């Protein structure tokens, strides 16, 4: 008798004309940014041990950047909101995003408004690498399905009426109707404009346009987060089918690099991801910021100052102090030399550009080893290097304490044939000299002991 009543109740529920289907939350709908590993977007420089992006990728101070939307996609309201949030950066950076009509033949940034179904997600080329992309292709992707205000539609559904009837007409299996199904049906619902979650639109637009003017993921700040790497790999693999490499590129990898520009780690940055406690070794967690943070304003204002054209002004003075160690090791797994110098660096009131350079010399340290390699050379000497901008009046310690925050990597395959020769590594901090337009002012240098190179590199 009891089971009969249950069956009866259940069938009543299913067959009731205006029944409310329960929407099962089966999957996350928000896609994190994949600025460095997006399908259809070439990676930046992902050579192991080199920066995925760097301050060489910033636009010229004062630039007007031409931006357009592609393919006539997107309602006027969503376009206006994206423009509004992108242009917030103009308040702090000496740059202008000039939005031009879709049919403009040549632009710097091209925004593609995609949807959940194409799985391209949110991402952007970094800074001036936008200019390397063919005019027929986008430089910045936004997934507008992510912008749908699901809660507003849930409320609308509960109210009954036209929208509820539309949804009920599309539900095939009321016992298995997921939020993904619901989203798909919302996208199909004919209406003049969607209900947008402007918090999400704001966060994603500010974040991606932040990449487009050279900012990187803040969670990659060296030592900012103590990742529990295995759980991070598993999380992104389960949720978004990301490979280990994609997780490295988007979430973790730059943590061993150091384009920090002398800033402090900024957990409020709009360039930061969400971090769950179980993703970290110390239980640290964070809900990502929706807004441009004070730290974001500071860094972008330093990269694009409003009141001066940095490169035309005084020479930056960078002081290297307490140079305690130049550690050079051969790494047979990564197949290259790993160079980690330890020193403190102090800047004066002017923003300065430096290059950290590691040159190869002969065993006695007297002669540089020549190279024709265009990427791994410095004035035709075999070398690996990393550029960095230094914020005014800041002090940074590199590789002091247990925190590794500066590493140069020199792949064996990028060296001239050395076939078992012994070499030394000379580490030099070069400053930019405005008088001769070259990075040739030596702020510091240090020589390693001799190392044997592998044969047949
Ligand atoms: Zn991003």
- In a domain, residue 341? The reply is yes
Identify the pLDDT of residue 53: 28
User: Can you give the CATH number for the domain in which 363 is found?
Assistant: 2.60.40
Identify the pLDDT of residue 207: 94
pLDDT 10s digits, 374-393: 889 998 999 999 888 777 66
pLDDT 10s digits, 276-325: 888 888 888 888 889 999 988 988 888 888 987 652 323 355 778 788 89
Residue 420 CA, ligand 1 centroid: distance in Å:
42
Question: Do 296 and 339 sit in the same domain of this protein?
Answer: no
Residue 39 CA, ligand 1 centroid: distance in Å:
14
Residue 222 CA, ligand 1 centroid: distance in Å:
16
Residue 237 CA, ligand 1 centroid: distance in Å:
18
- In a domain, residue 174? The reply is yes
Q: Angle at Cα 63 formed by Cα 56 and Cα 302, nearest 5°?
A: 55
- In a domain, residue 317? The reply is yes
Per the structure, the count of domains in the chain is 2
Identify the pLDDT of residue 59: 81
Low-confidence ranges of the chain (pLDDT < 50): 1-17, 37-54, 56, 255-258, 311-315
- The model carries a pTM of 0.62
Question: Do 26 and 119 sit in the same domain of this protein?
Answer: yes
Question: Do 297 and 354 sit in the same domain of this protein?
Answer: no
User: Can you give the CATH number for the domain in which 196 is found?
Assistant: 3.40.390.10
Question: Do 127 and 27 sit in the same domain of this protein?
Answer: yes
* Collapsed DSSP state (helix, strand, coil) of residue 445: strand
Residue 414 CA, ligand 1 centroid: distance in Å:
30
- Residues 410/287, Cβ–Cβ less than 8 Å: no
- In a domain, residue 331? The reply is yes
Question: Do 296 and 414 sit in the same domain of this protein?
Answer: no
The string of DSSP letters for 74-140 reads S-HHHHHHHHHHHHGGGGTSS-EEEE--TT-S--SEEEEEE-GGG---SEE--GGGGGGS-TTS-SE
Domain hosting 293: range is: 19-217+285-307
Question: Do 382 and 299 sit in the same domain of this protein?
Answer: no
Cα–Cα distances in angstroms (integers) from residue 245 to residues 120, 213, 223, 234, 249, in the given order: 17, 24, 20, 12, 6
Nearby residues of 83 by Cβ (< 8 Å), 6 or more positions away: 97, 99
Question: Do 386 and 429 sit in the same domain of this protein?
Answer: yes
Residue that terminates a domain, selected from 276, 307, 338: 307
- In a domain, residue 5? The reply is no
Question: Do 208 and 347 sit in the same domain of this protein?
Answer: no
Identify the pLDDT of residue 240: 76
Residue 44 CA, ligand 1 centroid: distance in Å:
13
DSSP helix, strand, coil percent of the chain (3-state; round to 5): 30, 25, 45
Residue in the block written with tokens 């992510």: 146
Question: Do 193 and 321 sit in the same domain of this protein?
Answer: no
Residue that terminates a domain, selected from 272, 307, 342: 307
- In a domain, residue 232? The reply is no
Question: Do 166 and 73 sit in the same domain of this protein?
Answer: yes
Question: Do 91 and 209 sit in the same domain of this protein?
Answer: yes
- In a domain, residue 363? The reply is yes
Residue 204 CA, ligand 1 centroid: distance in Å:
9
Residue 185 CA, ligand 1 centroid: distance in Å:
28
Residue 52 CA, ligand 1 centroid: distance in Å:
12
Identify the pLDDT of residue 26: 66
Residue 212 CA, ligand 1 centroid: distance in Å:
10
CA distance 133 to 125: 9
Residue 64 CA, ligand 1 centroid: distance in Å:
22
- Residues 74/111, Cβ–Cβ less than 8 Å: no
Residue 195 CA, ligand 1 centroid: distance in Å:
24
CA distance 236 to 232: 6
Residue 306 CA, ligand 1 centroid: distance in Å:
25
Residue 369 zone, left/alpha/beta (φ > 0; ψ -120 to 50; rest):
beta
Question: Do 68 and 210 sit in the same domain of this protein?
Answer: yes
Residue 345 CA, ligand 1 centroid: distance in Å:
28
- In a domain, residue 384? The reply is yes
Residue 37 CA, ligand 1 centroid: distance in Å:
10
């Amino acid at each position: 008798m009891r089971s009969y009543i249950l069956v009866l109740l259940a069938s009543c529920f299913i067959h009731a004309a205006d029944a409310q289907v329960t929407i099962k939350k089966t999957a996350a709908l928000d896609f994190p940014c994949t600025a460095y590993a997006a399908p259809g977007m070439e990676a930046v420089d992902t050579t192991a041990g080199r920066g995925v992006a760097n301050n060489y990728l910033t636009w010229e101070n004062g630039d007007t950047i031409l931006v357009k939307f592609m393919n006539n996609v997107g309602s006027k309201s969503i376009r206006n909101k994206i423009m509004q949030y992108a242009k917030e950066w103009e308040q702090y950076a000496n740059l202008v995003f000039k939005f031009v009509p879709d049919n403009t033949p040549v632009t710097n940034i091209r925004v593609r408004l995609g949807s959940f179904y194409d799985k391209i997600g949110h991402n952007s080329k970094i800074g001036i690498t936008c200019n390397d992309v063919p005019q027929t292709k986008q430089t910045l992707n936004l997934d507008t399905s992510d912008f749908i205000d699901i809660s507003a539609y849930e409320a609308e559904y509960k109210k009954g009426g036209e929208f509820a009837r539309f949804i009920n007409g599309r539900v095939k299996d009321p016992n298995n109707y997921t939020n993904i199904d619901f989203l798909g049906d919302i996208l199909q619902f004919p209406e003049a404009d969607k209900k947008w979650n402007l918090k999400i639109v704001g966060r994603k637009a500010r974040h991606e346009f932040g990449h487009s003017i050279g900012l990187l993921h803040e969670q990659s700040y060296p030592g900012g987060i103590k990742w529990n790497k295995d759980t991070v790999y598993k999380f992104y693999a389960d949720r978004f089918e990301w490979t280990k490499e994609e997780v490295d590129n988007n979430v973790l990898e730059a943590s061993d690099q150091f384009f920090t520009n002398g800033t402090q780690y900024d957990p409020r940055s709009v360039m930061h991801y969400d971090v769950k406690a179980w993703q970290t070794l110390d239980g640290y967690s964070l809900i990502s910021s929706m807004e441009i943070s004070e730290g974001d304003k500071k860094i972008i204002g330093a990269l694009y100052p409003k009141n001066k054209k940095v490169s035309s002004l005084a020479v930056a003075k960078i002081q290297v102090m307490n140079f305690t160690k130049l550690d050079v090791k051969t790494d047979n797994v990564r197949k290259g030399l790993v160079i980690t110098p330890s020193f403190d660096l102090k800047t004066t009131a002017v923003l300065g550009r430096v290059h950290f350079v590691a040159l190869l010399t002969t065993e006695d340290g007297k002669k540089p080893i020549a190279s024709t390699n265009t990427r791994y050379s410095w004035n035709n000497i075999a070398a690996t290097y990393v550029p960095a901008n230094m914020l005014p009046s800041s002090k940074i310690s590199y590789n002091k304490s247990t925190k590794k925050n500066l590493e140069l990597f020199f792949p064996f395959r990028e060296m001239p044939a050395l076939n078992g020769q012994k070499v030394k590594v000379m580490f030099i901090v070069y400053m930019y000299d405005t008088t001769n337009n070259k990075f040739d002012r030596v702020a510091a240098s240090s020589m390693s002991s001799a190392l044997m190179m592998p044969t047949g590199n």
